[in-house]
Amino acid sequence: MNNDQLFARIAPLFDVGSLGDARALIAGCGSGGGQVALQLAMSGIRKFALFDSDVLEAENVIRHVCGRRYLGQKKVDAVADVLLDRNPALEIERFPVDIMTCADLVDQVRRSGVVVLATDNDPTRFRLNQVCVETKTPFVIGKVFTRGIGGETFAYRPGEGGCLACLESVLERLPYRDGVREIDLVSDEERQKMYGMEIPEIKDSPGLNVDIAFITAFHTRFVLDAIARTLPERPKFLPPIEKNYLVWGNRPVHPFTKHFELQRIQVHPQDGCLICNQGESL
């Protein structure tokens, strides 16, 4: 089966061939990054650089694109195998390394058309934020809130909007994170208790895969938009996404007031930002 057959149903609608030359750097191949990578492969992206230093463990499987037969394998290898099963013509580079100590991270980012930021800790996120700003490389980050009550997606568009540091500055003044925590921004001990169901008030953490899927869908769509912005001509029926930040509520749990609540805002470069050092406020 060739590529023409694989994409025969959608190629006339979405010009998937025009997306194929973009290289997507997937930073984090967990439940979020793995799903985004798969959706990108199914959308016509052919070049991937997969970054993750972890192996797939039993507690990952119920929310991950990779099943039990991949247990004990490096996540980059497991995800690569799933992607190649969908499209054997993909070009996939694998980096089972720690992003914080990766010697050629700047070069790898510079070689990429977009960075999919799906790591589970702030140091790697802000490291990639800095590198992407320095290299003028677009990135899109997705986060899921505790218990899967919702999440957020943010796109860094060089020269058009603020960076991740700007976003954090803006969110300090907005209600979208009031009283919520992101799954991955808790201590290792507390996270272990979450996974072990030992904390009654968050016993359903970190959320069902269906809750995570809403965020990964938004994440993927913003990544496709980021790639389309770099092309001489946008693909058909893929109009630009106007705002660069989206927050989504899966159900009416504070700070959300109803099922499937959606808010969008434009995050501008913030005065005094030490990373992108541009001047305009929200």
pLDDT digits (tens, 9 = 90+) for 192-245: 544 443 443 333 346 789 999 999 999 999 999 999 999 999 887 889 999 999
Query: Which pLDDT value is given to residue 45?
Result: 95
Query: Which pLDDT value is given to residue 146?
Result: 83
Query: Which pLDDT value is given to residue 147?
Result: 83
Q: Residue 184: pLDDT band by 50, 70, 90 thresholds?
A: very low
Task: Please give the model's pTM, rounded to 2 decimal places.
Answer: 0.88
Q: Residue 277: pLDDT band by 50, 70, 90 thresholds?
A: confident
d(CA 79, CA 35): 9
Lowest mean pLDDT among 37-46, 200-209, 244-253, 266-275: 200-209
pLDDT of 280 over the 60 cut = no
Q: Residue 172: pLDDT band by 50, 70, 90 thresholds?
A: confident
pLDDT of 21 over the 70 cut = yes
Q: Residue 269: pLDDT band by 50, 70, 90 thresholds?
A: very high
Query: Which pLDDT value is given to residue 179?
Result: 60
Which residues does residue 50 pair with via DSSP β-bridges, in sequence order?
Answer: 26, 94
Cβ atoms of 119 and 27 closer than 8 Å: yes
Spacing of C-alpha 62 from chain mean position: 19
CA angle 182, 184, 188 (to 5 degrees): 135
pLDDT of 177 over the 70 cut = no
Length of the chain: 282
Q: Rounded mean pLDDT of 153-167?
A: 96
Average pLDDT score, the chain: 87
pLDDT of 1 over the 70 cut = no
pLDDT of 259 over the 90 cut = yes
